[in-house]
Amino acid sequence: MRIDVLNGVNLDLLARRDPGVYGGLSLDELETRIYAWAVELGCSVRCRQTNHEGEYVEWCHAALEGVDGIVVNPGAWTHYSWAIRDALELAGAPLVEVHLSDVEGREEWRRHSVLEGLTAHRVVGRGPEGYREALRLLTEPAG
């Protein structure tokens, strides 16, 4: 099983963002954990991150071919990028939306997701473990 993990804008600076909200982990450390969880769960993962919306859209297009699941954390684009929603609408593979922080308990503008209705699951506020849960939901869909 092949899964793409697509992290979006500002997640490259994860280690420098408010540790009270994001935990202080770097993107490298997060990706290292994701690759280890993939081995544990018996799937093959490709992690990507960009600050460029067009590139993210192209990665969504690339994920239309040959992947069995997509984990997305588009960062702030989650709340307003209809281009990313349109791109992910084409995905044949199941989608899981992840947010490290509890977007429901923060500012009002973070409560809206353009991905509403598209995703098989949404995991929020569980820190890095949220990605493990997303991989688990994709690899063990009945669990």
Is 96:106 a contact under the CB 8 Å cutoff? no
132 binds ligand DQA (CB under 6 A): no
Does 103 interact with ligand DQA (rule: CB under 6 A)? yes
Helix count (H) and strand count (E) of the chain? 5, 5
- Nearest distance, CB of residue 75 and ligand DQA, angstroms: 3
Task: Name which position in 36, 39, 76, 90 contacts ligand DQA (CB under 6 A).
Answer: 76
Separation between Cα atoms, residue 65 and residue 117, nearest integer Å: 21
The correct pick among 100, 123, 137, 138 for binding ligand DQA (CB under 6 A) is 100
Size of the site for ligand DQA (CB under 6 A): 10
Nearer to ligand DQA, 69 or 74 (CB): 74
Six token digits for residue 111: 């409560």
Under the criterion CB under 6 A, does residue 78 sit at the interface with ligand DQA?
yes
Residues marked as catalytic? 22, 99
Residue 1 or 27: the one with the smaller Cβ distance to ligand DQA is 27
Is the CB of residue 29 less than 8 Å from the CB of residue 19? no
Question: Does the footprint of ligand DQA cover residue 119 (CB under 6 A)?
Answer: no
Name which of 98, 121, 105 is nearest 33 in CA terms. Answer: 98
> In angstroms, rounded to a whole number, what is the distance separating the alpha carbons of residues 52 and 17?
19
Could you say whether residue 49 binds ligand DQA (CB under 6 A)? no
Nearest to 73 by CA among 110, 108, 105, 39: 110
Binding site for ligand DQA (CB under 6 A): 10, 73, 75-76, 78, 99-101, 103, 110
